[in-house]
Amino acid sequence: MRLLAQKAVKKNKSAIKRAAQAEKRNLLNRSSKKLIKTLSKKVEAEAVSKNMDSAKTALKNAVVAIDRAAIKGMVHKKTASRKVSRLTRLVNALSPAEAV
């Protein structure tokens, strides 16, 4: 799949280099976001199946991937925090409620 950088003919060396860098970053960002979505879906699937141990393992993997993407700037840090919070809440709802 050719991206926008390949469609427009660049005229100078720096423009060609920037287009190549943009294309490379686009691919990296896309793969990272796809990984986050896949791992989040795994957490949700384990939560639906009510499997606490595998849900916690899946949550741990998802949190690592989301935090790494936030550190690298692929997703905003508040977006990452929100995703982690929602997944954690979902997994915590599986455990029996503690008496207060």
Per-residue pLDDT of the chain (100 residues; tens, 9 = 90+): 455 555 667 789 999 999 999 999 999 999 999 999 999 999 999 999 998 999 999 999 999 999 999 999 999 999 999 999 999 999 999 887 654 4
The half-sphere exposure of 9 on its side-chain side, counting CA atoms within 13 A, is: 1
Residue 74 lies inside a defined structural domain of this protein: yes
Which pTM was predicted?
0.77
Q: Residue 31's domain spans which residues? A: 10-92
77: number of Cβ within 10 Å: 12
Number of structural domains (the chain) is 1
Q: Given this model, what pLDDT does residue 100 score?
A: 42
**∠11-31-2 over CA atoms, to 5°?**
35
Which domain CATH number covers 78?
1.20.58.110
> Dihedral of CA 90/88/63/58: which sign?
negative
Distances 32 to 11, 50, 87, 96 between C-alpha atoms, Å: 31, 27, 18, 34
Measured distance CA(60)–CA(87) in Å, rounded = 10
